[in-house]
Amino acid sequence: MSTATPSNRAKHKPKLELDPIVIRKARSLARKAGAPVVKLARTHTTVSVERAVLRLAGLSGADHDGVPWVNHLVDSVRGEVGLEHGVTTPVFDALRRGEAPDLLTLAQKSAAGSVSFRLPQGREGSAAQSLALRSVKPGMARIDKNRVTRDRLIKRHGDPKQRPWIYLIVATGDIYEDIPQAQTAAREGADVIAVIRSTGQSLLDFVPEGATREGYAGTYATQENFRLMRAALDDVSKELGRYIRLVNYASGLCMPEIATMAGLERLDMMLNDSMYGILFRDINPIRTFVDQRFSRQIHARAGIIINTGEDNYLTTADAVDAAHTVTVSQLMNEYFAKEAGLQDWQLGLGHAFEINPDIPDSFRMELAQALLARQLFPNAPLKWMPPTKHMTGDVFRGYLLDGFFNLVGAMTGQDILLVGMMTEAVVTPFLSDRDLALQNVRYVLNAAGNLSEDFHPPRDGFIQTRARQVLSEAVDLLERIVDDSGEPGSVPLLRAIGDGTFGLMKRPADAGKGLDGVVKRAPGYDNPATTLLEAGDTK
């Protein structure tokens, strides 16, 4: 196991008497539901996948209007010969024919309409594909080197001595303000810093360029911002004697590109959920699943831990009635992640403390849900999310709720704990708010951090019964998805999403943002990045 992975798994001993046959059935059904989606992803590409390949080949930068050169080049190729065979074959054929001396110049000429593309055949096609493969290898090698560097720095500086890792959000909109806030948070005890993304960036079909100083409720995800924050956290890691992890968001219309940039700049975790963009940003389901598979292949290669977004379902659906949809989504995320090459230690599957606190036994139900996730995925670094939906603006009540959330995390052996803020739903937290929130976490973990060793819910008691009920309902839902007979050739999971099964959001497969960026692959489609990712080497 890599030194970059969570350890300390011995504490995660089964505490719920779940039927192993039911668990196996749940995973089998998830596999049956997910396989047609994977087939869809393997037979399609998107404009963002093709742009990500060009980024791996070294193309970066933007024109004076901020439009990235990768967008110009992909759009030009698509306009002339289409993307059904991949962008790299016509691009590297053009370079071989002397249309330009390098990718940047070719992109600039394509933007001016002064270059022509073709689909080369025979030996010329093979030569173009060979050149494309050689050109992508240095980018992949850089990702590999960053993974080695991460392991070396963790060995040098050390990992946090306790679980869960304390995960804190920074979000000012200005990368140069984010940096000192992130470093201060690390000094106050945060182990993982998430630079939350500017509102609406997930709907941009391009990645902004350079360091950014303006963003609404977050900071733009750019490669330069990634580089700056990674360097700053490396400095504070050295100062503190523990490796501080960096998180951003690989979601939205540019998921493959942002995942690629994360690998190139040594980020450690990425928000990457298989259905979040579909449900909460109305991004086309096929676009999302195609982009998601490529992005997760990059994460697998880079040694990045993904964080999934099941907590979001409970902001629109009831956390008691819809609890089983969270479990179904976790099982689907696990299947899609492993199919793309991710290992258990990279699966930061999400769940949340979102049951209405006014409901009797709400705390016991939260314990049941957290234990269920812990037992279903014993080797995954689960990401436990704090209360948000039922935060009222009463900061004293909110601080108490966050304390209960932290206590469940301690009692159920969570691995990644996102710090709750008492000012949730009131203001963007100040540094003082973050400091108080971290004090809350530190108190609970110091006082009850090993409580998971002693906590065993009674046989057939409330907690075990509730967990079995949720798992049974999850199996029932998966069976309905798999057995749902629709039009010939239709995909059951896509139909379920279209029917509003998850988060009460109805998202049909033939609608949504980004649909026009989906392309069915033709025979002979070539993607040198996929070739390297699936081969597992860059030599």
Residues shown for the chain: 539
Q: Which of 167, 276, 335, 399 is catalytic?
A: 276
Residue 429: predicted pLDDT: 81
Q: Which of 137, 383, 433, 526 is catalytic?
A: 383
Active site annotation includes 311: yes
Q: Which of 159, 178, 273, 311 is catalytic?
A: 311
Phi, psi of 236 (to 5 degrees): -75, -25
Specify the residue for token string 């303006």.
Answer: 214
Q: How far apart, in whole angstroms, are the C-alpha atoms of residue 77 and residue 72?
A: 9
Structure tokens of 528? 């040198």
Residue 76: predicted pLDDT: 98
Active site annotation includes 383: yes
Structure tokens of 203? 């709907």
Q: How far apart, in whole angstroms, are the C-alpha atoms of residue 383 and residue 417?
A: 6
> What is the full per-residue pLDDT of the chain (539 aa) written as tens digits?
344 454 444 456 778 999 999 999 999 999 999 999 999 999 999 999 999 999 999 999 999 999 999 999 999 999 999 999 999 999 999 999 999 999 999 999 999 999 999 999 999 999 999 999 999 999 999 999 999 999 999 999 999 988 899 999 998 999 999 999 999 999 999 999 999 999 999 999 999 999 999 998 899 999 999 999 999 999 999 999 999 999 999 989 999 999 999 999 999 999 998 888 999 999 999 999 999 999 999 999 999 999 998 888 888 889 999 999 999 999 999 999 999 999 999 999 999 999 999 999 999 999 999 999 999 999 999 999 999 999 999 999 999 999 999 999 999 999 999 999 998 877 778 888 989 999 999 999 999 999 999 999 999 999 999 999 999 999 999 999 998 766 766 799 999 999 988 878 899 999 999 999 999 999 999 999 999 999 875 44
Tell me, letter by letter, the H, E, C secondary structure of 221-237.
CCHHHHHHHHHHHHHHH
Phi, psi of 44 (to 5 degrees): -135, 160
Contact yes or no for 76/283 (Cβ under 8 A): no
Q: How far apart, in whole angstroms, are the C-alpha atoms of residue 354 and residue 425?
A: 14
Q: What is the dihedral of CA 467, 469, 470, 472, to 10 degrees?
A: 120
> How high does pLDDT run on average in the chain?
93
Tell me, letter by letter, the H, E, C secondary structure of 257-271.
HHHHHHHHCCCCEEE
What pTM was computed for the model?
A: 0.94
Active site annotation includes 216: no
